[in-house]
Amino acid sequence: MPGDLQAVGLTALLAATTTLLLVPIASPLAWWLARSSSPFRSLIEAVVAMPLVLPPTVLGFYLLIMLNPESVVGGLWVELTGDSLTFSFSGLVIASIIYSLPFMVQPLQAAFRAVPEPVLEAAATLGASPRDRWLNVVLPMAKRGYLTGCVLTFAHTVGEFGVVLMMGGNIPGETRVLSIAIYEHVETLNYEAAHMLALGLLCFSFLSLWLVYRFAGHRFEVVRG
């Protein structure tokens, strides 16, 4: 049981960290995707949406290749921090950010697209600089998009399994998150413990989605692959 509580805490920490980091990463990307007419837009949109259709094991496999200590990125990380990115909490955060990127980007993109250009023009004539317009016109109008993005990203990260298994394994206190703990309980035929965690996750997922539908309507476009 203490191991399960530790897994719950670690999962919450991973989901919160991923969500917090994804807000500043996804915001400019979603803004560009919503407003740009660049011919590369559809290409970037496809790349961002890849985690929706890719099997998590494929993503986890490539992340393992890219981030292991023998790779350029992984090697640099070891030099800087002394720790390995694979089979560590830091590696899980990076993997979660990539895996959950579309869950943050797509609701934000939809919210930004709904901000009428004429309103931004009017704000400019009222003396608002581009930054001012973004903070005081776009953000208030996109707050439902942010709520949706944050809830979906958090919930999706809580439910991660394949990528975590590939990248992080099952190290208590470091990479043993809820879904891994459930898998381990089932493997060891400890169905009672598996039930406890699985039912908790079920309720959590339902509440998350209900929150999105209740407060953000249907204004999100995430399609689970």
Interface residues toward other proteins, by CB under 8 A: 116, 118-119, 121-130, 132, 136-137, 140-141
As measured in angstroms, the least distance from the Cβ of 141 to other proteins is 7
As measured in angstroms, the least distance from the Cβ of 149 to other proteins is 19
Nearer to other proteins, 129 or 190 (CB): 129
Q: Which residues contact 57 (CB under 8 A, 6 or more apart)?
A: 162, 163, 165, 166
As measured in angstroms, the least distance from the Cβ of 36 to other proteins is 15
As measured in angstroms, the least distance from the Cβ of 99 to other proteins is 33
Beta carbons of 70 and 139 less than 8 angstroms apart: no
Beta carbons of 91 and 191 less than 8 angstroms apart: no
Alpha helical stretches, state H, 68-177: 72-81, 89-113, 117-125, 130-133, 139-141, 143-158, 162-167
Amino acid symbol at 98:
I
As measured in angstroms, the least distance from the Cβ of 35 to other proteins is 14
How far is it, in rounded angstroms, from Cα 106 to Cα 109?
5
Nearer to other proteins, 24 or 127 (CB): 127
Instruction: Name the packing angle between helices 143-158 and 89-113 (round to 10°).
Output: 150
